[in-house]
């Protein structure tokens, strides 16, 4: 027996199939449009977040920002104008530079500068004058204890106390000395020094001030910033 399919039934089935499939595609597209992330909006939020995390160093009241190609720091206005000098000797080896301040005086009580001095020298620096003492930055090993570093620096007879600190992300040493120096009739010496090996580029940095003015140097070193380039 032969069965025949009604053509109207086939047509109706095709129409229903088209409607169902088309509706499914339409709903799927709408759902994706609603749930897809807004990439542009996300990028803007991310950029704003980065802007909030940026910090700018602000000097304390009555302090001013000093900037050079090697470093920047805040200084107290009472110290006077910063004075940069090239202390390199033509017969020496390497380079030596200094920043002092116009109102600097050596105090008679502790034989040290009343305003900070910042010195930086190349790693190969060697003075021309035989009586010029230099710091052995290579002797500073931060894996050793403070007392061991003091001994390596030759400060064990200077009533020195040392503290390992961080200066602009660099390992540094904060040292107080208080002793009587008979050589050259220098007398009593009481000062604060910072030693920063490999501070920037090919340079080591040392800072010094009378211990009676230690707070000023501590503030300066707190926000000092080194720039990774050679002088």
Kindly state whether residue 1 falls inside one of the protein's structural domains.
no
Residue 162 lies in a domain: yes
Range of the domain at 47: 7-53
How much of the chain, in percent, has pLDDT values that exceed 70?
66
Residue 81 shares a structural domain with residue 29: no
Mean pLDDT value across the chain: 77
Number of domains in the chain: 2
Q: 223 falls in which pLDDT band (50, 70, 90)?
A: very high
Residue 91: per-residue pLDDT: 75
* pTM of this structure: 0.71
| Contact call for residues 78 and 116 (beta carbons, < 8 A) | no
Does residue 25 fall inside a structural domain?
yes
Question: Do 98 and 176 have their domain in common?
Answer: yes
- What is the DSSP code string of 144-173? S-HHHHHHHHT-TTTT-EEEEEEETTEEEE
Check: CB of residue 74 under 8 Å from CB of residue 57: yes
Whether the predicted pLDDT of 9 surpasses 90: no
C-alpha Rg value of the chain to the nearest Å = 35
Q: Going edge to edge, which strands form the sheet with 63-67?
A: 63-67, 71-76, 225-226
Q: Do residue 75 and residue 30 come from a single domain?
A: no
Which of 10-24, 75-89, 123-137, 198-212 comes out lowest in average pLDDT?
A: 10-24
């Amino acid at each position: 027996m032969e069965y025949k399919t009604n053509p109207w039934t086939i047509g109706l089935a095709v129409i229903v199939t088209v409607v169902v499939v088309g509706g499914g595609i339409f709903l799927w597209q709408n759902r994706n449009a609603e749930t897809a992330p807004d990439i542009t909006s996300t990028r803007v939020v991310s950029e704003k977040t980065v802007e909030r995390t940026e910090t700018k160093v602000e000097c304390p009241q009555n302090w001013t920002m000093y900037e050079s190609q090697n470093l920047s720091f805040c200084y107290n206005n009472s110290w006077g104008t910063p004075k940069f000098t090239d202390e390199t000797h033509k017969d020496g080896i390497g380079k030596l530079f200094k920043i002092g301040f116009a109102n600097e005086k050596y105090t008679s009580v502790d034989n040290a500068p009343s305003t900070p001095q910042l010195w930086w020298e190349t790693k190969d620096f060697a003075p021309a004058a035989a009586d010029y003492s230099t710091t052995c930055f290579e002797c500073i090993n931060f894996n050793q204890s403070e007392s061991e570093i003091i001994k390596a620096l030759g400060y064990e007879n200077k009533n020195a106390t040392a503290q390992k600190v961080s200066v602009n992300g660099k390992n540094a040493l904060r040292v107080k000395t208080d002793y009587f120096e008979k050589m050259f009739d220098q007398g009593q010496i009481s000062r604060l020094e910072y030693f920063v090996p490999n501070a920037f580029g090919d340079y080591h940095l040392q800072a010094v001030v009378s211990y009676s003015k230690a707070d000023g140097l501590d503030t300066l070193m707190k926000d000092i910033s080194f720039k990774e380039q050679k002088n």
